Amino acid sequence: MPVESLFKLNAAISPPSPDLEARTMSLPATVFSADVLKIDAARISAEIAGQIRDIVLERLNRKGVVIAISGGIDSSVVAALCVKALGTARVLGLMLPEADSSPDSLHFANLLAQSLGLPTRVEDIAGILMAAGCYQRRDDAIRRVIPEYTAAYKCKIVLPDQLNGSAYPIFSVVVESPLGERTKARLTLDSYLGVVAATNFKQRTRKMMEYYYADLFNYAVAGTPNRLEYDQGFFVKNGDGAADLKPIAHLYKTQVYQLAGYLGIPQEILKRPPTTDTYPLDQSQEEFYFPLSYDRMDLCLYAKNHGLLPEEVAPVVKLTAQQVARVYHVIDRTRSATRYLHRLPVLSEKVPEVPDDL
Amino acid sequence: MEIKDELRRFVTDNFMYGKPYEGFADDDSFIERGIMDSTAVMELVAHLEKRYGITFDDKDLSPDNLDSVNRLARFVGSRVQPDFTGARDAGRIALQT
What pairs with residue A183 in β-bridges? A175
Q: Do B62 and A168 touch (CB under 8 A)?
A: yes
CA distance A178 to A200: 25
Q: How many CB atoms lie within 10 A of CB A198?
A: 21
Give me the percent of chain A exceeding a pLDDT of 90.
78
In terms of residues, how long is chain A?
A: 358
B88, part of any domain: no
The residue ranking higher by pLDDT, A31 or A238, is: A238
- Residues in chain B within 8 Å Cβ distance of A165: 62
Backbone angles phi, psi at B61, to 5 degrees: -85, 60
- Residues in chain B within 8 Å Cβ distance of A169: 38
A141-189 pLDDT per residue, tens: 999 999 999 999 999 999 888 777 778 888 999 999 999 999 999 999 9
CA distance A83 to A145: 47
Q: What type of residue is A247? A: P
Smallest CA–CA distance, residue A169 to chain B, in Å, is: 6
A313-350 pLDDT per residue, tens: 999 999 999 999 999 988 998 898 899 999 999 999 99
CA distance A290 to A196: 19
Range of the domain at B45: 3-17+26-79
Q: In a 3-state reduction of DSSP, which class is residue A122?
A: strand
A210-264 pLDDT per residue, tens: 999 999 999 999 999 999 999 999 999 999 999 999 999 999 999 999 999 999 9
Give the residue on B whose Cα is nearest the Cα of A188.
Answer: B42
- In the stretch 13-42 of chain B, residues with CB closer than 8 A to chain A read 31, 34, 37-39, 41-42
CA distance A43 to A198: 42
Among B38, B42, B59, the residue with its CB nearest the CB of A188 is: B42
Enumerate residues 6+ apart whose C-beta is below 8 A from A344. Answer: A356
Backbone region of residue A15 per phi and psi (left: phi > 0; alpha: psi in -120 to 50; beta: other values): beta
Q: Do A192 and B31 touch (CB under 8 A)?
A: no
Long-range contacts of A2-11 (CB under 8 A, 24+ apart): A2/A39, A2/A40, A2/A44, A2/A255, A4/A38, A4/A39, A4/A40, A5/A36, A5/A37, A5/A38, A5/A39, A6/A306, A8/A33, A8/A35, A8/A36, A9/A36, A9/A306
A252-303 pLDDT per residue, tens: 999 999 999 999 999 999 998 877 788 888 887 777 777 788 999 999 999 9
Tally the domains of chain B.
1
Q: In a 3-state reduction of DSSP, which class is residue A176?
A: strand
B96, part of any domain: no
In A6-20, which positions are buried (b, 16+ CB within 10 angstroms) versus exposed (e)?
A: bebbbeeeebeeeeb
Enumerate residues 6+ apart whose C-beta is below 8 A from A345. Answer: none
Residue B57 has pLDDT above 90, yes or no: no
Backbone region of residue A307 per phi and psi (left: phi > 0; alpha: psi in -120 to 50; beta: other values): left
- Residues in chain A within 8 Å Cβ distance of B41: 168, 170
- Residues in chain B within 8 Å Cβ distance of A192: 39, 42
Smallest CA–CA distance, residue B5 to chain A, in Å, is: 24
- Indicate which CATH number applies to the domain containing B41: 1.10.1200.10
Backbone region of residue A75 per phi and psi (left: phi > 0; alpha: psi in -120 to 50; beta: other values): alpha
B56, part of any domain: yes
B66, part of any domain: yes
| pTM, full prediction | 0.85
Domains of chain A, each with CATH number or no CATH? 32-131+200-285 (3.40.50.620), 133-193 (no CATH)
Q: How many CB atoms lie within 10 A of CB A47?
A: 12
Nearest to B90 by CA among B47, B54, B59, B56: B47
Q: Are A125 and A96 in contact (CB under 8 A)?
A: yes
Mutation site, A161, A164, A168, A190, interface B, largest B CB count within 10 A: A168
Q: In a 3-state reduction of DSSP, which class is residue B18?
A: coil
B90, part of any domain: no
Please tell me whether the interface predicted TM-score (ipTM) of this complex is above 0.85: no
Spatial strand order of the sheet with A154-158 comes to A154-158, A172-176, A182-186
Give the residue on A whose Cα is nearest the Cα of B34.
Answer: A336
Write the CA distances from A30 to A1, A243, A249, A304, integer angstroms. Answer: 18, 39, 27, 17
